[in-house]
Amino acid sequence: MTDSPRIHLGSLLRADEDAHADGTLDHLEYEQGGQTQTLTFATDAAYDVDVNSLGGHEMYLQGSFEPTLVMDCARCLRPVEVPLEITLGTMMRYEPSADAPYLEEAESGEEVLVFGDPNLDLSAYLAETTLLAAPLSVLHDPACRGLCQVCGHDLNDGPCEHMAQVPVEEIDDDLGIPEGTTHAKQNPFAALADLKLPEDK
Ligand SMILES: [Zn+2]
Ligand SMILES: [Zn+2]
């Protein structure tokens, strides 16, 4: 288990010294709605973060994060690797009263990362940034056949018994078929119906 990605901002807050952090992550754990969520990466994801003071309690974070996110195929649920190259650039503000770091929308519409612990855990920030950069859904193959609606069989592995069911059009008379459907047109006498007969009076 890798440690949380942290950047130490004490010196920056005390003496305006720039801060730097880098490393790799194989997953990210973060809190959402009181529950611990996990993002899993296919390979070690490199992050590189610099924070520069803007004076007072404000600063600017920039850097990069390159996770290969593992998502489920939207049709068959196979794991799909989604490589992302994320450029980070976010205003930050130190507020000693803030418990966990959170993103706040500034009046300019820009997001500001607000934090209270100078030993800042970047997990939630990197997780949210990753989710924003990721596609909403992915397919493992554009031609993915998905799962059988009846038994859940992965149809990419071949058909299941439900695929072999007799199509409705071929059900024979004994099982009943409404008149006037395809069946009637295949009846040799059906052609007679098309003949123009003299109208009865
Ligand atoms: Zn699929
Ligand atoms: Zn099936």
Q: What is the 3-state secondary structure (H, E, C) of 15-50?
A: HCCCEEEEEEEEEEEEEECCEEEEEEEEEEEEEEEE
Please state, in angstroms and rounded to a whole number, the distance separating the CA atoms of residues 140 and 113: 34
CB under 8 Å to 115, separation ≥6 — which residues?
9, 92, 93, 94, 95, 98, 101
pLDDT the model gives residue 143: 96
Go through 117-135 and write b for each residue having 16 or more CB atoms within 10 A of its CB, e for each that does not: ebebbbbbbbbbbbeeebe
Domain ranges of the chain: 6-133, 165-194
* pTM to 2 decimal places: 0.72
Rounded to the nearest angstrom, the distance between the alpha carbon of 153 and the centre of ligand 1 is 12
Rounded to the nearest angstrom, the distance between the alpha carbon of 148 and the centre of ligand 1 is 12
Rounded to the nearest angstrom, the distance between the alpha carbon of 110 and the centre of ligand 2 is 49
Rounded to the nearest angstrom, the distance between the alpha carbon of 30 and the centre of ligand 1 is 28
pLDDT the model gives residue 170: 46
Rounded to the nearest angstrom, the distance between the alpha carbon of 147 and the centre of ligand 2 is 8
* pLDDT profile of the chain (201 residues), mean per 10: 83 92 94 88 96 94 96 95 96 94 90 95 94 95 94 94 60 46 44 53 51
User: pLDDT tens digits for 106-134?
Assistant: 888 899 999 999 999 999 999 999 999 99
Please state, in angstroms and rounded to a whole number, the distance separating the CA atoms of residues 195 and 201: 18
Rounded to the nearest angstrom, the distance between the alpha carbon of 154 and the centre of ligand 2 is 8
pLDDT the model gives residue 188: 46
Nearest ligand by distance to the CA of 150: 2
Q: What sign for the dihedral angle of Cα 61, 62, 64, 69?
A: positive
Nearest ligand by distance to the CA of 79: 1
Amino acid at 61: L
pLDDT the model gives residue 68: 96
pLDDT the model gives residue 141: 96
Rounded to the nearest angstrom, the distance between the alpha carbon of 150 and the centre of ligand 2 is 5
Q: Exposure of 173 by Cβ count < 10 A (0-12 exposed, 13-18 middle, 19+ buried)? A: exposed
Rounded to the nearest angstrom, the distance between the alpha carbon of 161 and the centre of ligand 2 is 6
Nearest ligand by distance to the CA of 152: 2
